[in-house]
Amino acid sequence: MLLNVNGAQHAVEAAEDTPLVYALRNQLGLKGTRYGCGTDQCGACYILLDDRAVPACDTPLWAAAGKRITTVEGLGTPERPHALQRAFIVEQAAQCGYCSSGILVTCAALLARNPDPSDVEVRAALDRHLCRCGTHNRIVRAVLRAARELRSGQAA
């Protein structure tokens, strides 16, 4: 089966009902998509399917085929970070960081459709994501910082 992941085509050998999270992690070595619950209850494994944030644990391969899959690795790299990734580092918006990947992906989708979200809107967008370390407020600050940065970048 062919998957379009982070802009490149990858051949994956797996049953078509295999949850995408296992193919990404074990076949393609993209460990950034973290497994948390397996039933779309925690948000740790979110990826973008085209432009929508969805759980990779609850997305079978057949549903991902033919779509653009973006993982946290596809958002940016240390050399060319996404504004969100830069902001998460500046705000030190993590403790254990296990929930970070899914949150970054959801926020990338959020900022793409709403470049100027309010604090309340960011929280609402993240309500499907659990953070156990209690870094929620840092994360919200980081998202608002990234949004500001993206807006000023576009204006410039």
- Whole-number Å distance between alpha carbons of 70 and 106: 11
Q: Which member of 3, 12, 28, 34 binds other proteins (CB under 8 A)?
A: 34
- In the complex with other proteins, the residue whose CB is nearer, 14 or 65, is 14
Rg (CA), the chain: 15
Part of the chain binding other proteins (CB under 8 A), chosen from 62-70, 107-115, 131-139, 144-152: 131-139
Nearer to other proteins, 26 or 66 (CB): 26
- Please answer whether residues 57 and 21 qualify as being in contact, where contact means their C-beta atoms are separated by less than 8 angstroms: yes
Look at residues 73, 84, 16 and name the one whose alpha carbon lies nearest to residue 47.
73
Three-state secondary structure call for residue 62: helix
Residues that bind other proteins in the complex, under the rule CB under 8 A: 14-15, 18-19, 22, 25-26, 29-39, 41-42, 44, 71-73, 75-78, 81, 85, 88-89, 92, 94-101, 104, 120, 122-124, 126-127, 129-140
